[in-house]
Amino acid sequence: MQRKIFITYTILLLVGIIISGVLTLGFMKGSYIETIERTLVSNGNLVNQFVEDRIKEDSFYQIEFPELANRYAKQVNARVTFINNNGIVIGDSEIRPEQLPNIESHLYRPEVQEALNGKIGKSNRYSTTTESNYLYVAIPIIIEERIYGVTRLAFPLVEIDRLNMRLLQNTLIAAFCGAIVATILGYRYVNSVTKPIKEITQTAQKIANGDFKNRVYVKSSDEIGILADTFNIMAAKLNETISELWDKNTKLQSTLSSMNEALFAVDNGYKIILMNAVAKSLFKIDADDVIGKHILEVIRSNKLHDVLKDMLNTQSIGQKEIAIDYPETKILKIYTNFIRLDVDPNRIIGIMALIQDVTEMRKLENMRSEFVANVSHELKTPLTSITGFIETLKGGAIENEKVRNRFLDIIEIETERLRRLIDDLLSLSAIENNKFPLTREEISVNEVIMEINNMVEGLVLQKHIHYVTEIESSLPTIIGNRDRFKQMMLNLIENAMKYTPDHGVVKVLVYKKYDNIFLVVKDTGIGIPKQDIPRLFERFYRVDKARSRKVGGTGLGLAIVKHIVMSFNGDIRVQSEIDKGTEFTVRIPIIEQKS
């Protein structure tokens, strides 16, 4: 800006100097020419006065005009020419007398014509006689109202041009000196004017970059000073406003970050104006800046878009539950409310949505319903049998010893089945709710397997199963609840024996690999269909319900196994093939675990 002002100032200064110089030069030139003309007229009148006096003494034609022309030319410092009333030159200070007859007639010279008409003639032209430019002044010689001739004085324009050139040089020198002085003073003035503006600009840039504490310090009482004071007031108010907005934004962000539910807001064009981190995590949004983008561009759920669109179109809010397939299959519960302007509550500018992921809740509800149904069914079956046999005994069958003993044996079996079911339910509930004893001890896998071998010996002999255990020597101990570990292995081994036909094979392998203990239970049993494997560890899930009940299964054993494995921070895998057998592999890290 300083450069622009200085350049503009310099150009205007030069233009002003040039115009002033030209006008001054023209004025001086015109004034000088007028002065010369007046001088020539005055000298011409004096010469005429002398001539008129001579004419009164002598005859006009007896006067020696060439001599008078030379004499007066020296006195008036100008060319003097005498012309009679016929236009004949009768004397000239720059022409010898013998050459006068050869001079052409001057009758039609413009200044001569005016003089012969009784006026003072003036002309500025080229002289063919002397071949030079002259300023001519012609004055009539009048005696008793008779014009005898013309006295013409001429001043060479070469002198005028020389004088004009000198004036021009002096004017240019004066203009140059004035321009230098004016430029120096102008630069200092422009600098004093632009310095506060430059300071205001720099401070404005700092404020634009976020430094709101900067202020302008200008000592001036003119408009620049007023501007600086106004700027400082504006900066202070802006700093205060930004601080308030920052504080509100910080509180808003803190509130949004502390929320457990997903929250977002869209305007009437379905462009996002607010979204918290939980919402980004819920919809698997990686982009940091989603503000201003269309909801379909960010969330890509037509169902959610349709819900918001329907609410805006019908001007109705409330809660809805929808199922989405992208980015994951989820069940969402949406609570909505309109966003209204404070200054115009009737104007709706968008919609706010609070979203709860109720997928697990719905799964748990379904599982609870299934669990209640399964428990009811599992309890009802033996209770129905027991009730039926008791009614039969009460109806008279108790008198028949053989029938009575057989019915009592069945009642005992069903009662034992109920006990096992209740025990498994209690165990599963205790494991899921971490209510089993938190004893932590060193567990020797070899000792536990040996104890289990003694426990399943009767079942092995009964079904003539080939039972094999291969345990790596020098296995490290693991830390955890010994009873739960034993229950896990016993469930897997008994489960393998129950579903392995007579004379089948059940093998238990235990070995260490990569800081993990691997426990493998393999059998040559009936196998498990592939479609059933993913649900194998669900409570009360049975591949073959009739066979499971026949062998005395409760449908909770593998669910208990899975939870015990998880308590050791391990995992369990299943491989199976129909009619060839099943293999369960448990991996437990060899580190101190929470039991």
Percent of the chain with pLDDT over 70: 88
Q: Which of 200-214, 287-301, 493-507 has the highest mean pLDDT?
A: 493-507
- Mean predicted confidence (pLDDT) in 86-97: 88
Question: Half-sphere exposure of 56 toward its Cβ, with a 13 Å CA cutoff?
Answer: 10
Nearest to 528 by CA among 574, 564, 497, 490: 574
Q: Report H helices in 433-528.
A: 445-455, 457-463, 482-498
pLDDT value at 163 more than 90: no
Question: Which has more pLDDT, 55 or 357?
Answer: 357
Please count the other Cβ atoms lying within 10 Å of the Cβ belonging to residue 229.
13
Residue 524 pLDDT level (bands cut at 50, 70, 90): very high
pLDDT of residue 503: 92
Burial class (CB in 10 A: 0-12, 13-18, 19+), 154: buried
Least confident of 85-89, 115-119, 329-333, 388-392: 388-392
Considering only residues 147 and 178, tell me which one the structure prediction assigns the higher pLDDT: 147
pLDDT digits (tens, 9 = 90+) for 503-521: 999 999 999 998 899 999 9
Q: Is 375 helix (H, G, I), strand (E, B) or coil?
A: helix
Burial of 270 (C-beta count, 10 Å sphere; 0-12/13-18/19+): middle
- The whole-angstrom separation of Cα 190 and Cα 183 is 10
Q: How far from chain centre, in Å, is Cα 458?
A: 76
pLDDT at 66: 87
CB atoms within 10 A of CB 429: 11
Residues 6+ apart with CB under 8 A from 535: 541
Mean pLDDT of the chain: 81
Per-residue pLDDT, averaged over 228-248, amounts to 81
Length of the chain equals: 595
- The overall pTM is greater than 0.85: no
b/e per residue, 59-86, with b = 16+ CB within 10 A? Answer: ebeebebbebbbebbeebebbbbbbbbe
The answer, yes or no, to whether residue 594 has pLDDT greater than 60, is no
Q: Report strand pairing: 505-513 vs 466-471.
A: parallel
What is the spatial order of strands in the sheet that 348-357 belongs to? 272-275, 262-267, 348-357, 330-340, 319-324
Average pLDDT of span 247-269: 83
User: Per residue in 4-14, pLDDT tens?
Assistant: 666 776 777 77
The three-class DSSP label of residue 345 is coil
Rounded mean pLDDT of 490-509?
Answer: 92
Rounded distance, CA 174 to CA 41, Å?
33
**What's the pLDDT at 585?**
95
Tell me the pLDDT tens digit for each residue of 100-116: 888 888 888 898 899 88
pLDDT of residue 508: 95
Distance CA 407, CA 385 (A): 10
State the number of CA atoms in the 13 A half-sphere of 101 facing the CB.
Answer: 1
Instruction: Provide mean pLDDT across the span 457-464.
Output: 89
Q: In the prediction, which pLDDT does 427 show?
A: 67
pLDDT of residue 595: 44
Residue 435: Cβ within 10 Å count: 10
Query: CA dihedral in degrees (76, 77, 78, 81; nearest 10)?
Result: 60
| pLDDT value for 593 | 46
Averaged pLDDT, 452-473: 90
Confidence (pLDDT) at 2: 57
Phi, psi of 148 (to 5 degrees): -85, -30
Burial class (CB in 10 A: 0-12, 13-18, 19+), 350: buried
Residue at token pair 């506060």: 196
Query: Greater confidence, 292 or 539?
Result: 292
Report the C-alpha gap between 528 and 520 in whole angstroms.
Answer: 17
Average pLDDT over residues 279-290: 83
Residue 196 pLDDT > 80, yes or no? no
Written as six digits, the tokens of 70 are: 């030379």
3-state secondary structure 185-241: HHHHHHHHHHHHHHHHHHHHHHHHCCCCCCCCCCCCCCHHHHHHHHHHHHHHHHHHH
pLDDT at 190 exceeding the cut of 80: no
What local confidence, expressed as pLDDT, does residue 374 receive? 62
Q: Which helix (H) or strand (E) holds 523?
A: strand 516-523
Task: Grade residue 245 by pLDDT with cuts at 50, 70 and 90.
Answer: confident
- State yes or no: pLDDT of 430 exceeds 50: yes
Question: How buried is 481 (Cβ within 10 angstroms: 0-12 exposed, 13-18 middle, 19+ buried)?
Answer: buried
The 10s digit of each residue's pLDDT in 328-367 is: 888 888 888 888 887 787 888 889 888 888 888 887 777 6
Instruction: Using the predicted structure, report yes or no on whether residue 547 has a pLDDT greater than 60.
Output: no
**What is residue 338's predicted lDDT score, i.e. its pLDDT?**
87
* Residue 546 pLDDT exceeds 70: no
CA angle 413, 415, 421 (to 5 degrees): 105
At residue 1, the pLDDT reads 57
- Residue-wise pLDDT for 549-579, tens only, equals 444 455 677 888 898 898 888 999 999 999 9
More confident residue, 88 or 32: 88
Q: Which two tokens mark 51?
A: 């001539």
Q: Nearest Cα to 230, choosing from 216, 214, 244, 211? A: 216
* Share of the chain residues as helix, strand and coil, in percent rounded to the nearest 5: 55, 20, 25
Lowest mean pLDDT among 408-417, 427-436, 544-553: 544-553
Asked whether 264 and 275 are in contact (CB, 8 A), the reply is yes
